[in-house]
């Protein structure tokens, strides 16, 4: 990760820690842990001069820490710092011109990100006098998510054997060649996405809350580096964007002992 990404992470965490010092906010401030599983895919991922290959569904994983504040009437601000593992597989059968035979072409992409979503959260159905700690509520959230690329691995195969000659070809992109340079940059270091969620929470004690939610995320920026934006057979380029859908569970701890009326 570069300095700008580290500074962004530090700034977001610092802003939360400073705001949480306010006596008004302390009453509803919380910390916790989260984890989830889901599926990910890339919209518009190019395949270097040939039509898009067929995607294969894979399980994605995420986990990390959460923090936030819940204010009166169910309004709140929620943030996370999570480790995200995103695997993409593509496979198709192609005919090699001039050889008269079909081959099985495969592509594997393994992304690892640090992701920082910052969202507005709204508890549904909050009413005055609702003080039952064991009560359950639904909630929704929406916001923006910053992804710092930690690692990425790209592997091409032909009939099951690794073979990069298929794509590192100047006929498709004048910026690359075979064998590829060891320092070649394929994907941008930072991803910015829009995110939304819908979930359910339950107070287990006056400190501890369990949450379960479905969360969707769509990148708004092209994840491909400028030198890796390769046109297809029709001479057109399609930008690539991460799309994710996760089922997440969180266990959060309110810093101060609270009643439902205090928080909501």
Q: Cα 91 to the chain's mean position, in Å?
A: 23
Looking at residues 221-233, what average pLDDT do you find? Answer: 82
Q: H helices then E strands: how many in the chain?
A: 3, 10
Q: Does residue 241 surpass a pLDDT of 60? A: yes
Query: Residues 13, 61, 121, 127: is their CA dihedral positive or negative?
Result: negative
pLDDT value for 244: 92
**Mean pLDDT, rounded, for 5-14:** 54
The number of residues in the chain equals: 264
pLDDT at 25: 47
Give per-residue pLDDT as tens, 126-183. Answer: 776 666 777 889 999 999 999 999 999 888 887 878 877 766 767 666 777 777 777 7
Q: How confident is the model at residue 209 (pLDDT cuts 50, 70, 90)?
A: very high
Tokens (6 digits) for 150: 């930690």
The DSSP annotation for 144-165 comes to EEEEEEEEEEEEEEETTEE-GG
- Residue 92 predicted with pLDDT over 60: yes
pLDDT of residue 166: 64
More confident residue, 113 or 45: 113
**Alpha carbon of 251 to those of 8, 32, 62, 223, 231: distances in Å?**
26, 6, 15, 32, 46
Residue 77 has pLDDT above 90, yes or no: yes
Amino acid 148: pLDDT: 93
pLDDT tens for residues 22-61? 544 456 889 999 999 999 988 877 665 455 556 677 789 9
Write the CA distances from 211 to 13, 159, 182, 183, integer angstroms: 22, 45, 44, 43
The pLDDT of residue 47: 63
Burial of 12 (0-12, 13-18, 19+ CB in 10 A): middle
Mean pLDDT over 192-215 rounds to 94
Mind listing the domains of the chain with CATH numbers?
3-263 (2.40.160.20)
């Amino acid at each position: 990760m570069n300095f700008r990404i580290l500074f962004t992470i530090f700034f977001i965490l610092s802003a939360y820690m400073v705001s949480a010092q306010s006596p008004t906010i302390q009453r509803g401030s919380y910390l916790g842990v989260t984890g989830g599983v889901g599926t990910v895919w890339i919209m518009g991922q190019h395949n270097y001069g040939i039509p898009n290959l067929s995607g294969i569904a894979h399980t994605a994983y995420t986990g990390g820490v959460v923090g936030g504040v819940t204010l009166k009437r169910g309004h709140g601000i929620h943030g996370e710092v999570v480790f995200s593992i995103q695997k993409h597989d593509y496979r198709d059968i192609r005919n090699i011109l001039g050889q008269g035979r079909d081959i099985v072409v495969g592509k594997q992409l393994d992304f690892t990100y640090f992701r920082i979503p910052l969202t507005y959260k709204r508890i549904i159905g909050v009413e005055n006098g609702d003080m039952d700690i064991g009560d359950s509520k639904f909630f929704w959230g929406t916001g923006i998510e910053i992804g710092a690329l930690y690692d990425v691995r790209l592997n091409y195969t032909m009939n099951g054997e690794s073979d990069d000659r298929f794509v590192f070809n100047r006929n498709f992109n004048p910026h690359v060649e075979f064998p590829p340079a060891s320092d070649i940059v394929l994907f941008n270091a930072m991803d910015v996405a829009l995110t939304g969620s819908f979930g359910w929470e339950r107070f287990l004690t006056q400190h501890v809350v369990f949450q379960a939610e479905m969360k969707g995320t769509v990148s708004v920026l092209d994840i491909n580096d400028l030198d890796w934006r390769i046109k297809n057979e029709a001479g057109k380029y399609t930008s690539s964007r991460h799309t994710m859908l996760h089922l997440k569970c969180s266990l959060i701890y309110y810093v101060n002992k609270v009643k439902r009326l205090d928080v909501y």
